[in-house]
Homo-oligomer: A and B are copies of this chain.
Amino acid sequence: MMTPKLPEPMSLAFAEAEAAQARGEVPVGCVIIDSSGKTVAAAGNRTLELKDPTAHAEMLAIREAAKALGSERLVGCDLYVTLEPCAMCAAAISFARVRRLYFAAEDPKMGAVDHGPRFFGQPTCHHRPEVYGGIGAARGEELMREFFRERRKSSPAVAGEERDP
């Protein structure tokens, strides 16, 4: 497969996703840059390692960025993630006032941007980032396919299970 050139932060997000996969986690990675383009946070999914159902890549990156910037509002920051955010992460992205959201693969099963709740279109959503989907979609989809293929092999019972264990 030809690998199209990705924006640098999305390449970093994929490196985080691959590191998560190597730890046995669902392969999702996230990077946040500030308005000058500096990386302020990078994280991969750690729900199993931390035994924390809220430890999605986006949540960890948002908390890390807020700490780095000393503010619970990430004004002017852009967030790159390898999978369409779920409802938890989409709402956190809104609360954090993220300026632009870039995501790679769609997630029909748990996504909340283009699927299910479509959170940013809800009247109860009070800050909407600009959203750019499909940035590195093929690579994101392949990562997820590979993950579920491996998981089905090792544990057929969980074949139909959702993204986040």
Residues of A within 8 A of B (CB): 47-48, 50-55, 59, 62-63, 66-67, 70-74, 86-92, 95-96, 108-112, 115-119, 122-126, 162, 164-165
In the assembled complex, the Cα of A123 lies from the Cα of B109 at a distance in Å of 8
- Name A87's contact: one of B48, B62, B87, B109 (CB within 8 Å): B87
A65 to chain B, nearest CB (A): 10
A156 to chain B: closest CB distance in Å?
19
Contacts of A92 in B (CB 8 A): 53-54, 88
User: A125 CA to B163 CA in the complex, in Å?
Assistant: 11
Q: Are A125 and B116 neighbours in the complex by a CB distance under 8 Å?
A: yes
Identical subunits present = 2
Find chain B residues with CB under 8 A from A164 CB: 95
Q: In the bound complex, what is the Cα–Cα distance between A131 and B113 (angstroms)?
A: 25
Q: Looking across the interface, which residue of chain B has its beta carbon closest to that of A86?
A: B91
Residues of B near A116 (CB, < 8 A) are 117, 122-125
B72 x A119 contact (CB < 8 A): no
**Nearest chain B CB to A88 CB, angstrom units:** 4
Are A124 and B87 neighbours in the complex by a CB distance under 8 Å? Answer: yes
28 A-B residue pairings within 8 Å (CB atoms)? A47-B72, A51-B67, A51-B72, A53-B62, A53-B92, A53-B95, A54-B59, A54-B62, A54-B92, A54-B95, A55-B72, A87-B87, A87-B91, A87-B119, A87-B125, A88-B89, A88-B92, A88-B95, A109-B124, A109-B126, A110-B124, A112-B124, A115-B124, A116-B117, A116-B123, A117-B119, A117-B124, A126-B162
